Amino acid sequence: MFSELVQGTFVQEKKITFEDFSQEWLLGYQSTGKVKISTVRVRQHEISLLKPYFAKLKMSDITKKQYQDALNSLQKKGYANNTIDGAHRTGRMIFKRAVELDVIKTDPTTNAIVPRKQLTVEELEQGIEIPKYMEKEELALFLQAAKKFGLERDYPLFLTHAYTSMRSGELCALKWGDIDFDEQTISITKTYYNPRNILNDYMLLTPKTKKSKRVIDVEDLVLEELKNLQAAQLKFRELQSKDNKPYHDKNFVFAQLDGRNPGYPMYLKLVAIRMARLLKISKLNDKLTPHSLRHTHTSLLAVAEVSLEQIMQ
């Protein structure tokens, strides 16, 4: 210890537990004003994955081996690679901050290895990996099912989703003011957040990244369907007003036009449920998700020999 004092590297380690320090860290992380509430929620979940291993342990007592054993245990419990990556990313931030605040001397996350599940030959041969996109013919079949058998708003919703490569959250947050019918563009300026999937309890957040704020050129086919949707919505709103019935007048494009909460935007889970129904009707792979439509869009651009730079834009 004497040599450490001389070199200025001695740290008087505190007695705070991981449970208490991680909570303090999360409050500080949130208070910066630089992170979204959705990101804070993710960090909170990732802390909950680490708590069973470290909750009551003093920060200074957690060793590199204990931390590595925790990551290995998460992998053995069957958590996905991305989930363990996230838990480790949050763990690194917490322990790094503890070092910066002189709570601990060494960071137990240093040189930790995130274990990854490797698919067996049999699994690869069986092709159990979730497909990420539809082929051109499959997309046509899916949209045909949406047009013929879709519920209210299904066809314009999924047509816009597929032809613009918007994220589901951006789609749910879309307002009529974001659409320029004359210039044939859609501006992406916000995303939808509703972790409890309650229609009247949502938030609008800034886009996922700085580059997520963008302007998209839109096909005539999509714009025509959106105009039809807008006309139907205006007619519905007039009837609601005439009958003195409530309408959540926030100008959302894919607003509810039935039920107890007319005017409120669709929530993400409902988009997924609607898509699952149409996949079943069209007898397509039921492992596809709304996010698959983004991959489908990218794939079709590549087939059309659009440059990588343009696709990224």
Question: Residue length, the chain?
Answer: 313
190 and 152 fall within a common domain? yes
| Phi, psi angles (nearest 5°) of residue 190 | -160, 170
pLDDT in tens, 112-169: 999 987 766 665 556 555 557 788 899 999 999 999 999 999 999 999 999 998 999 9
Q: Kindly calculate the radius of gyration of the chain based on its CA atoms and give it in whole angstroms.
A: 25
Q: Rounded to an integer, what distance in angstroms lies between the CA atom of residue 113 and that of residue 93?
A: 16
141 and 96 fall within a common domain? no
40 and 148 fall within a common domain? no
pLDDT in tens, 223-281: 999 999 999 999 999 999 898 889 999 999 999 987 788 999 999 999 999 999 999 99
Q: Examine residue 197 and state whether it is found in any structural domain, yes or no.
A: yes
Question: Shortest CA distance to 136 belongs to which of 300, 302, 304, 22?
Answer: 300
192 and 304 fall within a common domain? yes
Question: Residue 36 — pLDDT band, cuts 50, 70, 90?
Answer: confident
Final residue before a domain boundary, out of 118, 151, 177 = 118
113 and 174 fall within a common domain? no
The amino acid occupying position 49 is L
110 and 155 fall within a common domain? no
Final residue before a domain boundary, out of 84, 118, 152 = 118
- CATH at 93: 1.10.150.130
Cα angle 187-192-196, degrees, rounded to a multiple of 5: 170
Question: Does the pLDDT at position 46 exceed 50?
Answer: yes
Count of domains forming the chain? 2
148 and 287 fall within a common domain? yes
35 and 177 fall within a common domain? no
Cα angle 299-301-303, degrees, rounded to a multiple of 5: 70
215 and 167 fall within a common domain? yes
104 and 151 fall within a common domain? no
pLDDT at 135: 87
Q: Examine residue 124 and state whether it is found in any structural domain, yes or no.
A: no
pLDDT at 53: 97
Domain encompassing residue 192:
136-312
47 and 150 fall within a common domain? no
Q: Examine residue 126 and state whether it is found in any structural domain, yes or no.
A: no
66 and 186 fall within a common domain? no
Q: Examine residue 300 and state whether it is found in any structural domain, yes or no.
A: yes
